[in-house]
């Protein structure tokens, strides 16, 4: 486990302490869980941005293929 020193805004620290007192969880565990949650959120947002970018790259080709399919004269 790594040791990290950080500065926390007074308001955030105060609110955190009140929550920790109520939920009876060690500060270290709470901060680890918060960082883990935020990391997952960031990974999800990074993936979403990448998918949007890649979707934009193939959009023109997809629309052209769709147009081609629509122009096919299907015989029953």
Say what the pLDDT of residue 75 is.
59
Range of the domain at 57: 10-71
The pTM of the whole model exceeds 0.75:
no
Residue 3: inside a domain: no
Residue 24: inside a domain: yes
User: pLDDT tens across 18-57, in order?
Assistant: 999 999 999 999 999 999 999 999 999 999 999 988 888 7
What is the number of domains present in the chain? 1
Give me the torsion for CA of 7, 9, 12, 14, rounded to 10°.
Answer: 90
């Amino acid at each position: 486990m790594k040791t990290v020193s950080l500065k926390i805004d007074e308001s955030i620290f105060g609110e955190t302490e009140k929550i920790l007192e109520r939920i009876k969880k060690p500060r270290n565990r709470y901060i680890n869980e918060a960082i883990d949650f935020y990391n997952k959120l960031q990974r999800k947002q990074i993936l979403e941005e990448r998918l949007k970018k890649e979707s934009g790259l193939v959009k023109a080709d997809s629309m052209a293929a769709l147009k081609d399919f629509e122009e096919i004269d299907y015989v029953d």
